[in-house]
Structure 1
Amino acid sequence: MDWRSICPISSSLDVLGDKWSLLIIRDLIIHESRTYSQFLESPEQIATNILASRLNLLSHLKLIERVNLKSASRNNAYQLTKGGEALKPIIKSLGKWAGEHLSEFNPNMLKINETL
């Protein structure tokens, strides 16, 4: 990965500033584990090439990991690592902030306790 700056905020935005990476993390916070096909079913409709790229990046950065499932129909899933789990309060804070400051502009937005 090419880092744009030595600033920690800039570095975190290099990873989390990407819409798709953040939504993958969100889905794993909500559902604890997801298969590749379950990510594709997300209402945001991520393209397969972007999903594969972001899963690889987040795995490389040790924010998520691939795990084997015992069910025959779905062999692999992704889950948060310790580093990914550390993002939970940050993601929840973003949702709370959006509820407080963006709900008048997006009246259909769910409240944070409905999603996380």
Structure 2
Amino acid sequence: MTDDLAFDVFARACQSRVTLEHVTGRWGGLTLCALHDGSFRFNELRRRVDGVSEKMLSQTLHALERDGLVHREAQPTNPPRVDYTLTPLGREVAVRLVGLIELVEGRMPEVLSARERYDRDKETVTP
């Protein structure tokens, strides 16, 4: 299939760049990390990913499903029930994102100090 193709995310036309955008964009990354915690229905996921609009979450889920990272399972019930879970590839990506999130959250005191220093230094330079 595509095993013999080389992918280079730094190349403008590389298909991997689009997937990287889906994974690292604000809503994609948060959605994948939320699904790392388990299966969610749409509205549960929307509540978990605070601030995402219904439209944006829907677009994000479609993109992640198309990329093979999220599995959508519709139950033939009344009312219809749709559950979202990670695929094995999605789980692998989410594990790495969760690690990055934990690193960033754990180092926020340093980040906040750096911001304060930067802002303070900018104030002293600006006339």
Q: How far off is 1:67 after superposition?
A: 1.8
Determine the C-alpha separation between the residues in 2 that align with 1:97 and 1:17. Answer: 15
Which residues in structure 2 correspond to 1:89-108 (within 5 Å)?
Answer: 89-105=95-111
Runs of at least 5 residues in structure 2 that lack an aligned partner in the other structure? 1-10, 113-127
Per mean C-alpha deviation after superposition, the further-off stretch among 96-105 and 45-54 is: 96-105
1:112 matched residue in structure 2:
none
Determine the C-alpha separation between the residues in 2 that align with 1:51 and 1:11. Answer: 17
Inter-CA distance 75–21: structure 2 relative to 1 (3 Å threshold): same
Larger % of helix: which? 2
Question: Which residue, 82, 86, 89 being the options, matches 1:83?
Answer: 89
Determine the C-alpha separation between the residues in 2 that align with 1:27 and 1:99. Answer: 15
Taking every aligned residue pair, what percent have the same amino acid on both sides?
17
Which residues in structure 2 correspond to 1:9-20 (within 5 Å)?
Answer: 10-20=17-27
CA RMSD, Structure 1 to Structure 2 (Å): 2.8
Contact 2:36–2:95, Cα closer than 8 Å, also in 1: no
Determine the C-alpha separation between the residues in 1 that align with 2:77 and 2:111. Answer: 43
Q: How far off is 1:40 after superposition?
A: 1.8
TM-score by length of 1: 0.70
TM-score by length of 2: 0.65
Q: Which has the larger radius of gyration?
A: 2
Q: How far off is 1:76 after superposition?
A: 1.2
2:63 matched residue in structure 1:
57
Determine the C-alpha separation between the residues in 1 that align with 2:58 and 2:18. Answer: 21
Which amino acid in 2 is paired with 1:28?
L
Q: How far off is 1:45 after superposition?
A: 2.0
